[in-house]
Structure 1
Amino acid sequence: MLHASRRIPQGAGLAPVLLKRAPTLTLDWDLRQKSRFDCEDSEGRRVGVFLPRGTLLRGGDMLVTLDGSLLRVLAAPQPLLRITHCPEHGSPFDLLRAAYHLGNRHVPIELQPDHLKIEPDHVLADMLRQMHLIVTEACEAFEPEAGAYGEHATMGHSHEHHGAHGHSHDSHGH
């Protein structure tokens, strides 16, 4: 069994050819939230993953095994609810309202410019339909937001931008 204990977010710093050639691990969101699990790679080998507690795996992350080989993480398609606004009875702003209500319930949510994705939940689906949103079942990769205090690096964002962009976020506009 291979043992993977190191994560390279989005394969940062690795040559693209290494990313393409690496065997893959296709994992759903439930598994990508765990720090210790067993799975099988695209070559049929058993892999034991042992990461620091609280580590989230994202599609595109690379794992390094104890023998130095690389494994590319893919987000597996899984059952989801895809939420879009109703062009007849609403506006795109309705998605913002929906994200607010789902966030208040601490629901993992993937935010896209034209839709939201959540894991299947008939109670939430009914609530969203009452808000005049269109809720459809889908089977797609799920990459929910990490949260305000989550692993920002996993989404490829840098938040060291205050000086670089000439603006800050204090209450005085300084």
Structure 2
Amino acid sequence: MSDLPLAQQVQRAAACATDDTVTLDYDARFLRRKKLTSAQGVAFVVDLEQTTSLDDGDVLELSNGGRIAVVAASEAVLEVRGDLPRLAWHIGNRHTPCQMCGDHLLIQQDPVIRHMLEHLHADICEAQRPFTPEGGAYGHGRTHSHDHGHSAHAH
């Protein structure tokens, strides 16, 4: 892998010219070091200082000067409709990543969460869509753990 260009810099939602794209689902956009191949067949290695959550529209800057735009892949999701504030509260209470879409919520397909939402009288439809959930309450990041880092309160 040493002959491949390295991506060690990420430009967040960059509005710059790019040479290529790499399409990744939500889970694959959480990485530190990984070999990837772009849409045009360019192999490269992402080698970031720390594990990072990449978003749709971020740009990976390669050591050879290339720029690869990150595209969120379509994946299996649940479209959730109903009493959105109440449903969003229950989803968030389970630390489940959730995308807010105005008239509905999107979550990854999960039979346990789906069952809970059905009991809360949610209307649920399966779909294939890019999934770009909200980041954590304290900034950019993932919501799948219960680590509050340097917050002022303790559990």
Using structure 1 for the length normalisation, give the TM-score: 0.75
Query: Runs (4+) of structure 1 moved beyond 4 Å?
Result: none
Shift of 1:54: 3.8
Partners of 1:8 and 1:2 lie apart in 2 by: 17
**One of 95, 104, 121 as aligned partner of 1:115:** 104
Query: How many residues are treated as equivalent by the alignment?
Result: 138
Give me the whole-angstrom Cα distance separating, in 1, the residues matched to 2:134 and 2:70: 17
Preserved CA contact (<8 Å) 1:81 1:117? yes
| Aligned counterpart, 1:51 | 48
Greater helix share, 1 or 2?
1
Q: Which residue number in structure 1 is paired with residue 113 of structure 2?
A: 124
RMSD: 1.4
Letter in 1 for 2:45: G
How far apart are the structure 2 equivalents of 1:50 and 1:38?
9
Shift of 1:117: 0.9
Query: 3-state SS of the aligned residue for 1:101?
Result: helix
- Percentage of identical aligned residues: 36
CA displacement at 1:2 relative to structure 2 = 2.4
Matched, 1:73 2:70: yes
* Higher relative strand content: 2
Structure 1's unaligned 5+ residue stretches are 86-93, 153-174
1:2 lines up with 2:35 in the alignment: no
In the TM superposition, what is the alpha-carbon distance from 1:44 to its structure 2 partner?
0.8
Structure 2 residue ranges without an equivalent (≥5): 142-155
Q: Is 2:44 aligned against 1:38?
A: no
2:96 is paired with a residue whose SS is coil
Q: What residue in structure 2 maps to residue 148 of structure 1?
A: 137
Q: Report the residue type matching 1:5 in the other structure.
A: Q
CA deviation vs aligned residue, 1:80-104 (integer Å, no higher than 9, x gap): 111112xxxxxxxx11111111111
Q: Which is higher, the Rg of structure 1 or of structure 2?
A: 1
